[in-house]
């Protein structure tokens, strides 16, 4: 919610004088009758943006706050809080291996207004808070978001939704999720991977399990976690997060952040009573350029003020942490709606039961070698071959046999595998570990036996694989390297870039080299036997 002029203007005395008049006007407009009920008409026509469709597996739906609009450089709300969080969620999805091509972000088309005002608005008062009164606007937003959730949940592809709401937009998100059409319908609720509300005008501080788990985060003015009290909460409403989204002690998919000095989400006393208009005004205009209700963003104009530079850094940090947790919850929820396929038995391997907990897989058959994977508990592993090496003793049992696991790209001591010391049906490793048909493996072509390597693949006869200066085909080749099917390359790090030259949609690129004198360069993943992202991303760092 906001009625003040744009951030970055340092005219506090003048603005406070204007606000005295504006709040007096608003106090008359927001009568008790208006607060008690509202016409729940349909939302306003959407701003120019693509119509909803089922094309992308991930959809971010963004509800900005009161009197906000879309502006150049701020496509998700003119204050900048929503823009901060949309970018953070997109980055967290990228970290989970979701490319930008699989993500769409859209603004919820709703009035985002505060007063019933159809006349021209004086520019010196800032953004126009019309055309609908607050409750009309909020209910229209709620109904529109319910409609959009229904649309996406009816898609045959079942996209996963991440909802973001700030201020009035947070209240819209909360009320939409609490609507029986969503909370009471499993197909609808299952489509919501996660929700994030910031400065929610409907915050309810009574859900202690969410506060204890950090899913409902309260911060002080220095962005440190603090506690608040149940008698405080949303300025306009107090609505609980439905249990289907709240979860229990940290397993929920609803995330909320509020500053303790932001009276929009942490007002004392009952909502919508007393001097609530003045409390709202103080939260958005305290005489600074980044008052409490706005200080969740990472893009306030510093105007040479180091405090605001620091606030931007903290806003970015908090948004990143919340987005990381929300996306992790959304990925887990997507795996419920779209169960991952049962793992295939890698060719040339034998399934074996691993019985122990916290077992390390290592780059070589010795406890001194680096760790490529850690199994938290018993599971099935796939052994390619086995050999005698360093003895390992655990639970009073000693075994000097190790098995190579191509899925985890490393070695496990047979002391942790069920069966005799030498596992029947698993061949002995002959010489160096044979490279798998798909997946990274260790090679020493550069002199380091722990280098991760892959082979060139998918090159047509008469053609060759080149290395490039950037992860695209527009900035030239980095060397005279010409790779052919079966050639080995050392892969060092990964990033995303242009789609592969064959147009399959693969945007992953590796920085690789031959281990020799030629300089390295970027190679598209489509032309390497690296295997699956879920496997190689565990051992290859981002560039």
Q: What is the pLDDT of residue 7?
A: 28
The overall average pLDDT reported for the chain is 84
Output b/e per residue, 474-503; b: 16+ Cβ within 10 A. eeeebbebebebebbbbbeebebbbbbeee
Is omega for the bond preceding 131 within 30 degrees of 0, making it cis? yes
Q: What is the pLDDT of residue 119?
A: 67
CB 527 within 8 A of CB 500: yes
pTM above 0.75, yes or no: no
Q: Taking 60 as the threshold, does the pLDDT of residue 19 lie above it?
A: no
Q: Taking 90 as the threshold, does the pLDDT of residue 1 lie above it?
A: no
Q: Where are the beta strands (DSSP E) in 139-203?
A: 160-166, 192-198
**Element at 146 (helix H, strand E):** helix 134-153
Lowest mean pLDDT among 14-18, 314-318, 430-434: 14-18
Report residue 33's pLDDT band, with 50, 70 and 90 as the boundaries.
very low
According to DSSP, the residues that pair with 451 across neighbouring strands are: 443
Count of Cβ atoms closer than 10 Å to residue 154 Cβ: 12
Q: Phi-psi region for residue 396, left (φ > 0), alpha (ψ -120 to 50) or beta?
A: left
CA–CA distance, 198 with 295 (Å, rounded to integer): 11
Per the document, the length of the chain is 543
Q: What is the pLDDT of residue 149?
A: 98
């Amino acid at each position: 919610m906001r009625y003040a002029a744009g951030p970055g203007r340092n005219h506090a005395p003048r603005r406070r004088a204007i606000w005295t008049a504006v709040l007096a006007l608003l106090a008359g407009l927001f009568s008790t009758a208006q607060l008690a009920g509202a016409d729940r008409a349909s939302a306003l026509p959407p701003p120019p943006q693509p119509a909803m469709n089922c094309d992308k597996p991930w959809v971010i739906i963004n509800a900005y706050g009161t009197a906000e609009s879309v502006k150049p450089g701020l496509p998700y709300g003119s204050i900048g809080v929503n823009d901060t969080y949309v970018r953070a969620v997109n980055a967290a999805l990228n970290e989970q291996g979701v490319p930008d091509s699989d993500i769409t972000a859209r603004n919820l088309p709703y009035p985002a207004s505060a007063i019933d005002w159809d006349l021209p608005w004086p520019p010196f008062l800032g953004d126009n808070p019309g055309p609908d009164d607050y409750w009309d606007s909020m209910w229209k937003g709620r109904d529109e978001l319910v409609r959009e959730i229904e649309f996406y949940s009816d898609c045959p592809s079942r996209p996963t939704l991440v909802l973001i709401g700030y201020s009035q937009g947070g209240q819209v998100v909360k009320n939409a999720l609490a609507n029986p059409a969503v909370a009471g319908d499993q197909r609808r609720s299952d489509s919501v991977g996660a929700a994030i509300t910031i400065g929610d005008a409907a915050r309810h501080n009574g859900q202690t399990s969410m506060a204890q788990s950090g899913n409902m985060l309260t911060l002080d003015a220095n962005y440190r976690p603090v506690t608040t009290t149940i008698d405080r909460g949303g300025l306009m409403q107090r609505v609980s997060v439905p249990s289907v989204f709240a979860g229990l002690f940290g397993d929920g998919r609803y995330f909320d952040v509020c500053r303790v000095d932001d009276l929009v989400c942490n007002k004392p006393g009952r909502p919508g009573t007393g001097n609530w208009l003045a409390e709202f005004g103080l939260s958005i205009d305290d005489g600074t350029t980044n008052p409490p209700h706005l200080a969740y963003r990472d893009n306030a104009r510093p105007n040479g003020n180091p405090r605001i530079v620091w606030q931007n850094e903290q806003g970015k940090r908090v948004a990143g942490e919340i987005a990381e947790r929300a996306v992790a919850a959304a990925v887990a929820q997507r795996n419920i709606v779209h169960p991952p396929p049962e793992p295939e038995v890698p060719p040339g391997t034998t399934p074996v039961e691993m019985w122990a907990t916290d077992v390390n897989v290592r780059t070589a058959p010795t406890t001194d070698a680096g760790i490529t994977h850690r199994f938290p508990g018993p599971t099935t592993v796939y052994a390619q071959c086995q050999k005698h090496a360093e003895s390992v003793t655990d639970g009073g049992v000693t075994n000097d046999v190790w098995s190579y696991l191509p899925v985890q790209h490393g070695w496990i001591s047979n002391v942790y595998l069920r069966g005799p010391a030498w596992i029947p049906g698993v061949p002995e490793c002959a010489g160096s570990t044979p490279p798998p048909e798909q997946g990274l493996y260790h090679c020493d072509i550069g002199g380091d036996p722990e280098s991760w390597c892959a082979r060139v693949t998918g090159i047509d006869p008469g053609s060759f694989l080149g290395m490039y200066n950037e992860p695209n085909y527009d900035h030239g080749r980095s060397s005279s390297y010409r790779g052919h099917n079966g050639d080995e390359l050392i892969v060092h790090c990964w990033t995303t870039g242009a789609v592969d030259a064959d147009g399959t949609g693969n945007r992953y690129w590796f920085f690789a080299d031959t281990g020799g004198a030629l300089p390295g360069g970027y190679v598209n993943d489509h032309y390497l036997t690296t295997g699956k992202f879920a496997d190689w991303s565990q051992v290859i760092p981002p560039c």
